[in-house]
Amino acid sequence: MSAGPKPAITLVTLESCNHFVGDIERGVKLYQQGGIEYQEREPYGWWANVPYGNEYRSVALSFSRDGQELRKYYCTCTQGYGNPPVCRHVVAAVLAIQGGIVPTRLALGQSATAQTTVTTYNTAQAVGSGQLDVFATPMLIALMEQAACMCLADKLASEETSVGVKIDVEHTAASPLGAVITATATIAVVTGRKIKFSVEAHDGQRTVGKGTHTRVIVDASRFMAKISDA
């Protein structure tokens, strides 16, 4: 049996999972107290016994192939839950298995903005997405993606970049020539290298668009080499 990669789960990824309020912090304290026994039972799959008072809690975990996502988890304290939350024992077991807290510059709630003015160059008529001189939906989406990129700009390693993989946006109001559009992207969920943003755009008076956008962090050189080999 070949061993899978060592897990590398960040606290922000654990916070993005369904979890008991306060149990991320309590799990860190449990890990720091030590005494956690664990073993890899199959590639990407582990079990652990976590001391809790005078008892132990049994935890089963499975990770993604790159070790950065928590795919499945079970703890005896949450048995019977249809959608079990991440409890303190799961958090403690993850940290013990990977040998500590993985540093990250990402945090839920971080945001950035991008701004543009509606001109004859970014209207629906100009870009071919309609016939009117109003801000084009493709340009609204591009502005939201720009805000998301700016949100990650100073949080990635020098060899990393992010690529957009999904966007679901509702364009709720038309914006005329001269309107100033501001898009805001806020980190809502972090799952390994996958970042989900809530995105919203305003024209100074009202919301003109909102939705969600997902980006994935990649190694820029490897990504481009993969495209060249395709």
Residues with catalytic function: 137, 145, 171
Query: By CB neighbour count within 10 A (0-12 exposed, 13-18 middle, 19+ buried), where does 215 fall?
Result: buried
Residue 20, amino acid: F
**Helical H segments across 76-154, by residue range:** 88-98, 124-127, 137-152
β-sheet bridge partners, residue 191: 194
Q: Are strands 160-171 and 111-117 parallel, antiparallel or unpaired?
A: unpaired
> What are the contacts of 81-85 at 24+ separation with CB within 8 A?
83/18, 84/18, 85/17, 85/18, 85/19, 85/20, 85/23
Residue 31, amino acid: Y
At 27, which helix (H) or strand (E)?
helix 23-33
